[in-house]
Amino acid sequence: MWPLDRGSKKPLFEQIVDEIERRISYGEFPPGSLLPSERKLAEQLGVNRSTVVLAYAELRALGMIESQTGSGTRVTKHKWGITPKHTPNWHRYVEGGSFLPNLPFLRRIREALQKNKALIDFASGELGADLSPVKEINTLMDENHYTEYLGYDNPQGFVPLRQALVAYLEHYRGIQTTESSILITSGSQQSLYLITQCLLAPGDAVAIEDPSYCYSLPMFQSAGLRLFRLPVDDKGVRPEEIRSLYKKHRIKMVFLNPNYQNPTGTVLDPERRVELLHIASELGLPIVEDDPFSLTDYHGTPPQPLKSADSIGSILYIGSFSKIAASGLRVGWMVAPHSVVERLADARQQMDFGLSVVPQKVAAQFLNSFYFRPHLDRLRMDLLYKRDLLIEALQKELPDLVSFSVPQGGLHLWCKIGTEVNDHKLLEEAIRNGMIYVPGSVYGSDSGYVRFTFARPKAADIPLGVSKFAAALRTVLG
């Protein structure tokens, strides 16, 4: 992004001066805005800090930027013309919006991954390129000429995809539904977002698993919801606690991920399922069931969703292609009573006017193709192989320092470190060593937990990544 030319006769610091001047004049760094610190910019560009010090000195001499101790280096405010001109105080706008930013750990992880493409990535909760059906999808796109009209799509989503999903849901998930009860969304994420925006209001109480992926989403807080925790043990959540939360706090909705829960990998116990559905129907309480991982079951016997036993319509069921095929397609779905689907489709029109037809068509073709089932079979075996690689490496490198349950499905391993450790220091040290993961506290747990996504790195990198992690842990523990 910064086109430094190390072969040029022009010194590097002058190239930096020119590039910053260019970006200031383009409005990327408006007057008054903060520039990166000298240390940070040097790191980003891979140059010595002294080079950036020189460049900033030059820009200061030109009157383009100003530095003040404690408040960093900023673009000069009144540079252009004689009459005073004011750039909007973008900083205040950026800080002032009602929607909350992502958690600092997640922003740090994103930044690190963008800066260093060589990091061994146990953090991104998705399939690696080796597990995605990239070839199959390319073949389908080659074979099927794209001939649809590219106008606005049906607000609920592309009809042939919804038709394909009716068959998929019955065959693979034991769910009977019709296309008019399905809403296509941008992954599970958009389903969760639409539910928090359209079916709940600020001040409403909801229950979520502890730990849970939901804790990594400040959008629950942005929507003004009061969150109450349902601890997850090795059999999932305990239904009785839902009843007691309902009595105490009048919770209006429960968010669950019953099969291969993210991050713990737990499967909700069959008896608890019966009890849970009983309580939901007794209280008239809606349950949001997020079910992205079931078909990754390593033994080919995926647990059924709650939705398949939901006789009275208590459950909003969410599924997705992201964890079983390709996160970059951005295709997910919700099965819900028709009035709910209509309401969410209407709101989504105002937010983004619906999904592109192109990936929806690709997804429908893939579901209907003879590639789909063999892909799932291969995926299961590859995930099992990668899981075992991770477990072996952890047992070899850190036999006494970590403990975990062995998951039977999903993309993640949830790992407890057996001694007190500073989450921040450990993550930074791991990044320095060349690997990255997600600290468990992102999902609401105490410190000292780690989520490893073994689906993402290449198989050959898993032992290497673990040994880098082990070295980081030993350094931090001293």
Query: Taking CB under 8 A as the criterion, which residues in 199-218 touch a second copy?
Result: 199-202, 217-218
Quick check: helix, strand or coil at residue 166? helix
Specify the residue, 73 or 266, whose C-beta has the smaller distance to a second copy. 73
Please report whether residue 90 would count as binding a second copy according to CB under 8 A. yes
Please report whether residue 418 would count as binding a second copy according to CB under 8 A. no
Among the candidate windows 188-196, 239-247, 262-270, 384-392, which touches a second copy by CB under 8 A?
188-196
* DSSP of 238-271: -HHHHHHHHHHH---EEEE--SS-TTT-----HH
Please report whether residue 62 would count as binding a second copy according to CB under 8 A. no
Please report whether residue 118 would count as binding a second copy according to CB under 8 A. no
Shortest spacing between CB 123 and a second copy, in angstroms: 11
Please report whether residue 282 would count as binding a second copy according to CB under 8 A. yes
Quick check: helix, strand or coil at residue 96? helix
Q: Which of 181, 259, 264, 294 binds a second copy (CB under 8 A)?
A: 181
Specify the residue, 153 or 210, whose C-beta has the smaller distance to a second copy. 153
Residues 284-303 that bind a second copy (CB under 8 A): 284-286
Which letter, b or e, does each residue of 36-50 get, where b requires 16 or more Cβ atoms within 10 Å of its Cβ? Answer: bebeebbeebebeee
d(CA 174, CA 308): 5
Residues 245-274 that bind a second copy (CB under 8 A): 252
Q: Residues 6 or more apart from 358 whose CB is under 8 A from it? A: 146
d(CA 197, CA 220): 9
End-to-end CA distance of the chain: 38
Please name every residue paired with 185 in a beta bridge, in sequence order, or none if there are none: 332
Q: Which of 314, 365, 369, 445 binds a second copy (CB under 8 A)?
A: 314
Shortest spacing between CB 403 and a second copy, in angstroms: 30
Binding mask 125-144 for a second copy (x = CB under 8 A): -xxxx--x-x--xx--xx--
Residues 14-43 that bind a second copy (CB under 8 A): 22-23, 25-31, 33-34
Could you give the angle at the alpha carbon of 381 between the alpha carbons of 378 and 382, nearest 5°? 85
| Tokens 């000298």 -> residue | 38
Q: Which of 366, 361, 384, 315 is nearest to 149 (CA)?
A: 361
Q: Check whether the bond before 202 is cis (ω within 30° of 0).
A: no
Specify the residue, 182 or 426, whose C-beta has the smaller distance to a second copy. 182
Residues 329-388 that bind a second copy (CB under 8 A): 329-331, 335-340, 343, 346-347, 349-359, 362
Specify the residue, 129 or 460, whose C-beta has the smaller distance to a second copy. 129
